[in-house]
Chain A
Amino acid sequence: MSESILSVEHINVTHGVGNASMRALSDVSLSFPAGSLTLVMGPSGSGKTTLLSVLGCLLTPDDGSVFVNGRDVTVATEEERTTIRRDQLGFVFQAFRLFESLTAFDNVVISSHIAGDKGEQSRIKAQQCLDLLNMGSKKHLKPGELSGGEKQRVAIARALMRDPKILLADEPTASLDSKAGELIAGILREIAQDQHRTVVVVSHDERLRAFATDVVCLLDGKVESN
């Protein structure tokens, strides 16, 4: 197995304050090697999404460290975490989070626009990403004209646009039928193994176990099995 490019060490996360506070993650330590597809499972409220938020530099833990490509992002500034998200992480969401007013192509190329790159090269790259996911022929369609599986493929294309080493996916198959779900799971495995990226998938979907290289189970904010 390759060295870990994403890891958390002894992280604690508490939501809320005072009597209403709730420990979402408790002393969690995990590492995610390059080329792996790690499936994070657990019942609702187990801390899966909180873990994904921490890994995605969207949430800073109360304690502990989060390493992305060897850098502890818990001590980074907000601007630095924004840059890390933009350049080193890719996101895939359960609700797709595509921009309804944009075409599939523009939804992908916007990742480069966010990084300030509006050159022809970024358009070529967007076309390649869509072609990779067999969505090249539907690049002119808007999200409202696409099926759930197609939307998710566009979202994955967007996530790959900046060539991130890490891909974080939140329930990527939850909004899809079984056939589309299997297709997406297969794509994520290819991204991990063929493209040697680190893929972390949070899901309830037991079918994804077959595609994962590692499975982490969370319960009440703690790692139950790894």
Chain B
Amino acid sequence: MSLAFQNLLHDRTRFLITALGVAFAVFLMIFQGSLLIGFLRAAAEIVYAADADIWITARGVNCFDFSATLDRRFREIAQGVPGVASVSRVSVAFANYRKPDGNHQTVVLVGADPNVGSRFPLPYLADSQRALEPEAIVVDETNTDGLEVYAFPTHIEINSRRAHVAGKVRGFSSFLGSPYIFTSYEDAARYSNLGPEEAVYLILRVTKDHDIASVKDQLAARLPEVDVWTQDEFGRRSKLYWISQTGAGAAILTAAVLAFLIGLVVVSQTIYATTMEHLDEFATLKALGASKRFIINVVLNQSLTCCVAGCVLGLSATIPIVAFARNVVAWIYTPWWLALAVLFPSLLMCVLASIMSIRTALSVEPARVFRV
């Protein structure tokens, strides 16, 4: 086995400390990455749940959650544009939810026509994807306790109007602190006092024989008072808004960068201390005729071995901790590729941490081998 590896095994405590430093950084990077990815996913989850090609929004709407109303005539104009197969309505508004025990909670009330797509959460009547249950809502499974939904139906009030919780859905937890609740467009409009001539979003499907981009251009030309987006554009716009305008994205990114820096400092210190402790050995290697490359390999191999051990430890810790964290932060999400993606900064961290040690090892005076 190599000198680098044997040196690590010889001082197991220091090896463990270094590996734990890397593991801590790996854990923090994956955790913060999971928060960021989950946050971005949640920011556009409802947009992507709709079976739509094009979204029409009021001018200047930055994200799904903060909307403005559209006049009904836009729907009629849109329907007349060649290539538009269907136009559906979606609404969103903050509302007051009165729990069974009389307590109140602010919720985000989302309403939609029944033809917005099977992934869109709505209180469909049993075995139907077309008819919606009147005065019914569905909630995300992670919000049932907070909304005091322990059975179906649970009778509640929304903006002082009668409603009942008819079911629960998965994957639509809100990061706003106010849970999403979903209902039909008609009921949502009634609960939030939306005028009969108004809509919040118009979502369009394009016929297969038409190009989405050209239909979008035609709509934009016909409707200069509103914004027209493809589904991807509006999803990205929502994500960009939350990540750039609210500071939340920056905070999560900063924490991930800090995790990298903390790991860098811990690994640098321990690798440097190991190098200083073995300075005489590096002097001996140089006296025996070891090339610079050989010495660099010894330090780098030590560092990269610590990195691999730290990554394994970090990943082992991350999987159960993220699973546990999902009970508290329901929208946290760890895609499989994130662990692979974190390997690169981890390797970079260990290589950077080695630089000072390599400089020290290379600059050691070989004639010191004669000192006792």
Q: Does A102 contact B (CB under 8 A)?
A: yes
- 8 A-B pairs within 8 Å (CB atoms) are namely A59-B367, A82-B286, A82-B290, A86-B290, A91-B369, A93-B284, A97-B287, A102-B3
The docked-state distance in angstroms from the alpha carbon of A119 to that of B280 is 27
Query: Is the Cβ of B289 less than 8 Å from the Cβ of A87?
Result: yes
Q: Does B151 contact A (CB under 8 A)?
A: no
B287 to chain A: which residues have CB within 8 Å?
Answer: 56, 58, 85, 91, 97
Q: Does B10 contact A (CB under 8 A)?
A: yes
A106 to chain B: which residues have CB within 8 Å?
Answer: 1, 3, 6
The docked-state distance in angstroms from the alpha carbon of A101 to that of B11 is 9
Q: Which of A28-36, A66-74, A110-118, A212-220 makes up part of the contact surface?
A: A110-118
B-side interface size class:
20 to 34
Option from A83, A89, A101, A170 in Cβ contact (under 8 Å) with B370: A170
Give me 16 other A-B pairs in contact (C-beta within 8 A), A56-B287, A101-B10 excluded: A58-B366, A86-B288, A86-B289, A87-B289, A91-B288, A93-B370, A97-B281, A97-B284, A97-B369, A99-B3, A100-B10, A106-B6, A113-B3, A114-B290, A114-B291, A158-B288
Q: Does A49 contact B (CB under 8 A)?
A: yes
Please, what's the 1-or-0 string for A203-214, where 1 marks a CB less than 8 Å from any CB in chain B? 000000000000
Q: Does A95 contact B (CB under 8 A)?
A: yes
Query: Is the Cβ of B3 less than 8 Å from the Cβ of A82?
Result: no
Please name the residue on chain B nearest to A142 by beta carbon.
B10
A158 to chain B: which residues have CB within 8 Å?
Answer: 288
The docked-state distance in angstroms from the alpha carbon of A95 to that of B284 is 11
Option from A79, A93, A99 in Cβ contact (under 8 Å) with B369: A93
Q: Does A14 contact B (CB under 8 A)?
A: no
The docked-state distance in angstroms from the alpha carbon of A59 to that of B286 is 12
- How far, in Å, is B122 (CB) from chain A's closest CB? 66
Query: Is the Cβ of B288 less than 8 Å from the Cβ of A85?
Result: yes
Q: Which of B228-273 contact A (CB under 8 A)?
A: none
Q: Which of A52-108 contact B (CB under 8 A)?
A: 52-53, 56, 58-59, 79, 82-87, 89, 91, 93-95, 97, 99-102, 106
Please name the residue on chain B nearest to A162 by beta carbon.
B289
B281 to chain A: which residues have CB within 8 Å?
Answer: 97, 99
Query: Is the Cβ of B10 less than 8 Å from the Cβ of A114?
Result: no
* Residue tally, chain A, CB below 8 Å to B: 33
The docked-state distance in angstroms from the alpha carbon of A52 to that of B367 is 9
B7 to chain A: which residues have CB within 8 Å?
Answer: 99, 101
Please, what's the 1-or-0 string for B8-44, where 1 marks a CB less than 8 Å from any CB in chain A? 0110000000000000000000000000000000000
Please, what's the 1-or-0 string for A129-167, where 1 marks a CB less than 8 Å from any CB in chain B? 000000000000000000000000000001000000000
Q: Does B294 contact A (CB under 8 A)?
A: yes
Q: Does B313 contact A (CB under 8 A)?
A: no
A111 to chain B: which residues have CB within 8 Å?
Answer: 288
B372 to chain A: which residues have CB within 8 Å?
Answer: 94-95, 171, 174
Known contacts: A82-B286, A82-B291, A91-B288. The answer to whether A53 contacts B370 by CB under 8 A is yes
A94 to chain B: which residues have CB within 8 Å?
Answer: 370, 372
The docked-state distance in angstroms from the alpha carbon of A215 to that of B289 is 28
Q: Which of B277-329 contact A (CB under 8 A)?
A: 280-281, 284-291, 294
B370 to chain A: which residues have CB within 8 Å?
Answer: 49, 52-53, 93-94, 170
